[in-house]
Structure 1
Amino acid sequence: MSYMKFIAVMMFGFGLSACANVDTATRNALHEEPALRAVPVSFDVQQIRVSVPKSLKVSEANRYYPMGDIVWREDAPGDRRAQVKAIMESGLARGVAGLQPGRVPVVLDVEVTRFHALSEKARYTIGGMHAVHFNLIYRNPVTGEAYSAPKAVRADFKAFGGQAAIAAERRGITQKVRITERLASVIQAELALPLRPESDQISALSVTE
């Protein structure tokens, strides 16, 4: 074989190798991409299950910023975890009730990780922030399989303080009313977002309306 023919054969071989690599990379990318893509899904919420772990610390300290996971004073003294659970259930249920049912049945598992309303001291002086955090999982109502990995949701918003808080209460706009409304709007926004699936079953069930 002449030198020029040898060079030509080598260049041809390199060309085939490059094409093979490009083709393999392209096929791999096409195969992997759906697992990373967020999917628009139309949900029909069958149930909302709220849990408030016993590991969350309840604070009854009347300070500007009590150190605890749960700070709630608007209900009478009692089981604060049960009170928080009832508020969460009410707000989330209100939000879901305001939506048109979708095509994919789902159960929402909600685990509260923080529920920080205002202490009396902060409420009637400087105000502050309502910090309501929870983990959200979408599940198959029949199998219990997760449609998604847990998503950390923050429903924080500015709280009234001082005269603004007093004026709001006179109009019936309590902390509970505002937190309930906030939860309703937050869960509606979450359900409207495309879902990054935990498994391929969401891709098969999803419907873009």
Structure 2
Amino acid sequence: MKWVIATEDLPSEAVAERLVEQTGGTIDLRFGEKGNGYLRANMGKFRQLAVRHPTLILPDLDQTPCAPELRAKWQLGPELPERLSFRVVVREIESWLLADQVGISNFLGVSAARITVRPDEIRDPKAELLKLVSKSTREMKADLLPARSASARVGVNYNARLVQFVRNVWSPERACVNSPSLARARKNICEIAARLRSDS
């Protein structure tokens, strides 16, 4: 089963890949890495693709109060194509990464006691992750934290390191226990995959 995925950035793409692969699917087409605005502007194209292909779209909630409000803002309407999984990341992909408390603890080499068990409730998950990185190894700090003179919010290897974490360490099963939004997304993706298998 070949999927289309559309995401905001590289770590989100890696998460989408893991969620699809857990259903036995593979990725046929990738779109995104250009932020929330790109996904919103191309919803018409993704709807068309979903007529023929299972399609997963993962926008971040960011500072929108709730997922239903984001859907209303995007004017998605009550009905989406049955092969389209539109799942809102609450609040951004770092929430879903932090939700694997054991995995992120081992990856950063920090105590699991420092890591929240309610990542969906954090207003700024990226800041929370960077705070944990500040307690990590020198190598992790160099890769994930911005240089003192830099204007960027994150380090030059931030995305690459998080992709490495998602591919090699992150457990969707463990993360679903702490993130209701991830658990709902995973359930929806599995339901679409199961339905398509039964129809084929």
TM-score, structure 1 length as denominator? 0.30
The structure with the greater share of residues assigned to helix is 2
Higher radius of gyration, 1 or 2: 1
The structure with the greater share of residues assigned to strand is 1
Higher relative contact order (CA 8 A, sep 6+): 1
